[in-house]
Structure 1
Amino acid sequence: MPTSPHFYRWLTQVCYWPLLILVALWHGMPTDAPGTLPAYIALFLWVLPLLFPLHGLVKGKPYTHAWTNFVLMFYFLHGLTVVYTHPDERLWSILELIFTTGAFIGATGYARYQGRAQGLGLKKLKDYD
């Protein structure tokens, strides 16, 4: 695997933006199924969590890349569940899984290598003694 933070930042951006668009399209479509939320409420609830880390991801902040993974795991679990339970939405969920996995790997790698380049990180216990 590359150790360049630029590669991981690129991977994060290449997967995060399509994930944001995919989620907006998928959950923004009106459905006539009984018991579903109106499209504007579903869109708000599904897109809003992806907007929280947006500023830090655009600015290239390693800490934001690190905690973005907590948000991404929600979408990863959703994709896994939908692949299994809704065969008619399988394509959407497979794309969600691909983009989420790519963004997760990219954000983790960028946080690790860019954080090291900036001297950020957790101190080892032996450094305190």
Structure 2
Amino acid sequence: MTTLLARRLALVGYIGLLLWVILWHAFISPSPHLSVVFMLVIWLPWLLIPIKGMLAGNPYTHAWSVYLLLPYFLHAGVLLWVDEGERWLAVVELFLASTMFIGNMYYAKLRGRELGLSIRKKKA
């Protein structure tokens, strides 16, 4: 995998997930019990935290932002298991989160090598 391909995968997953959360909770299947604003306040901030570094191509941001994907993986997994009505929505969410995860990991690794960044081993 090339650095450019990894970056594109990361950005497609990131921007796709950002847009998907908005579309899902505001238009496609808004919650009947909770307001759209509340749902977006719950789901969007996690994706907005790394926006500056993701768009700038910072390998460090790409590396740590995968931790912010955990709620989306868990949400998709639970819905795949329990909610037949929103299963297809969860599949899209899982696909986008996985794309971002894979792209971020490879981009951080490859770009970090290009820049000469590495994790130093401790001297015993």
User: What's the TM-score once normalised by structure 2's chain length?
Assistant: 0.92
Q: Does 1:109 align with 2:106?
A: yes
Q: Tell me the SS of whatever aligns to 2:85.
A: helix
Q: Percent identity?
A: 36
Cα distance in 1 for residues equivalent to 2:107 and 2:15: 16
1:15 aligns with 2:25: no
The residue correspondences of 1:1-129 to structure 2 (distance < 5 A) are 2=1, 4-29=2-27, 30-32=30-32, 36-125=33-122, 128=123
CA shift, 1:28, in A, is: 2.2
Alignment RMSD (CA, Å) = 1.3
Point out where structure 2 has 5 or more consecutive residues left out of the alignment. Answer: none
Q: In the aligned structure 1, how far is the partner of 2:71 from the partner of 2:63? A: 15
* Alpha-carbon distance in structure 1 between the residues aligned to 2:70 and 2:107: 17
| Cα distance per residue 1:72-95 (max 9 Å; x no partner) | 122011101111111100111000
Aligned residues: 122
What amino acid sits opposite 2:31 in the alignment?
A: T
Report the 3-state secondary structure (helix = DSSP H, G, I; strand = E; otherwise coil) of the residue aligned with 1:41: helix
Runs of 4+ that moved beyond 3 A = none
* Counterpart code for 1:123: R
Once residues 123 and 31 of structure 1 are traced to their aligned partners in structure 2, the CA distance between those partners, rounded to angstroms, is 48
Letter in 1 for 2:34: L
Structure 1 residue runs of 5 or longer lacking an equivalent are: none
Alpha-carbon shift at residue 31 of structure 1 (Å): 3.3
For 1:65, the aligned partner's letter is H
| In structure 2, C-alpha distance between the alignment counterparts of 1:14 and 1:113, rounded to whole Å | 18
